[in-house]
Structure 1
């Protein structure tokens, strides 16, 4: 059996779908469904069982036997980069992850968990998986950074696979429940449908309007990497997961406009509350992932946006 925490969420549900594509439905999904709309992300997948996230943690601590667990894909966490309740974030993103790390180690199960490119802060130190490049500038990033540090100290004595994936700016199917934290592609599509205009941040720092750049990576490419790592259990470490090429918000917005065949871009003033905690540039250094043996290409922004909007707007009924 495999366990996917956050399995009703964005990336987690796509990993479940990927496992199904590989012929595997012996999956325990762990999540918090108080936000019941997330059940839609599980409507078209096959799983063996579901368990509430808090119940799962309690059973881990009580030493419950879950049987033969090949791997845990730990995607469950608070993913809000604007959350500043440090006590909550450290409990949910750090302590929960530590419990799962030690439980996986005792059971000789692979652990593939979600880290975040937010650990690189403003990016002035680069984007390689190295302590010299890491400087979190918000509480969410700090919670992810601290668990990565804990894993690095743990790895020399680890007997089973442990992998952290530093997701860059992920977009794609099954993110609607994230609300304001959903991707720019998601919001841009809605804005075109509603008003015909995509709203982007105006000029900030040294960036012209809409010229802030991010490494936008399609969610199914991320699921492919997670599945490949599971199939290569001798690989451990912390790896960046992006495309390796930053694109501007203007390029992404124009891709949405091109898909619809209509629309304009409007710029709004850059919010004051984000000025000291916003990443204006991200670009994954994929050297370590490629050196580990992952050779598959990643979708570029236009290709990914078109695939996503086909799914999002219902014009690709075969898409899952």
Structure 2
């Protein structure tokens, strides 16, 4: 028998892949969205989801109608890339998930899976780049740690590395570079590319959530963190060169034409030990993941 799951951010990149995987695994999925959300990523499974528009429905309603939930999966976020105010970032990244966490505790949900980011390090949020995003993600994780300890529920904090795959936002780094190479514009200006990132394919990230759901009864109470990545770091330069080769692009790559950001993270790499103890591991190599992304409907037009 499937689980009863509440999912936020289902219309987004990661959330839509999660929704599809949960439906495929026969779980009952209740999604929280807004009436004006773009649901195009969910077109093929929309009829298999129970949906609530939070700008028209009180948060208590889905809990009262569908409780008890086996887990809450929170992926909704605001990055600040759309010129959101600091107050709007706090509303989306702290106030709303805090209300969600409190409601889940009130209605007896014992597992809250929170989506966090690798870039929320002390070094990263000292910089001005996306400060509001990093600060609010840090604040909600602290609330999760506090409330889960008091109420003896499990707050599993998933620190995601750089996720990529089909149907991500075009403004994100990998889709942006891919589209630029495919268009064969004269040249592409990038940094020197010495900084390293742990690039993890979206299916592997989704499987991390599924593994935690499968092992929910064995997870410790309180705050527990899982780093989600391949455990290997690849330089930006190497990544861009791989995309350039896979797209057979003739564009000139101008490494070093753009300076690094202030307090740039020069290396990020997941420690996947905690997930590996639950028999999870990354399966998709970077070259294979990029190839699958290029073969998807999004790029194969």
TM-score by length of 2: 0.84
Aligned to 1:310: 295
Q: Is the 8 A contact 2:80 2:89 kept in 1?
A: no
| 3-state secondary structure, aligned to 1:297 | coil
| 3-state secondary structure, aligned to 1:266 | strand
- Count of equivalent residues: 288
Task: Write out aligned runs for 1:1-320 (5 A).
Answer: 1-24=4-27, 26-32=28-34, 34=36, 36=38, 39-45=39-45, 46-55=47-56, 58-60=58-60, 64-80=64-80, 85-109=85-109, 110-122=111-123, 138-175=131-168, 178-180=169-171, 182=172, 184-195=173-184, 199-202=188-191, 209-233=192-216, 234-236=218-220, 237-264=224-251, 265-267=253-255, 269-270=257-258, 275-276=261-262, 278-291=264-277, 293-311=278-296, 312-314=298-300
- Give me the whole-angstrom Cα distance separating, in 2, the residues matched to 1:87 and 1:306: 40
- Give me the whole-angstrom Cα distance separating, in 2, the residues matched to 1:253 and 1:186: 11
Q: Is the 8 A contact 2:190 2:257 kept in 1?
A: yes
Q: Is the 8 A contact 1:29 1:50 kept in 2?
A: yes
By how many angstroms is 1:228 displaced? 0.9
- Give me the whole-angstrom Cα distance separating, in 1, the residues matched to 2:80 and 2:177: 19
| 3-state secondary structure, aligned to 2:200 | strand
1:228–1:212 CA distance, 2 compared to 1 (3 A): same
TM-score by length of 1: 0.80
- Give me the whole-angstrom Cα distance separating, in 1, the residues matched to 2:54 and 2:186: 39
Unaligned runs of 5+ in 1: 124-133, 203-208, 316-320
By how many angstroms is 1:12 displaced? 0.5
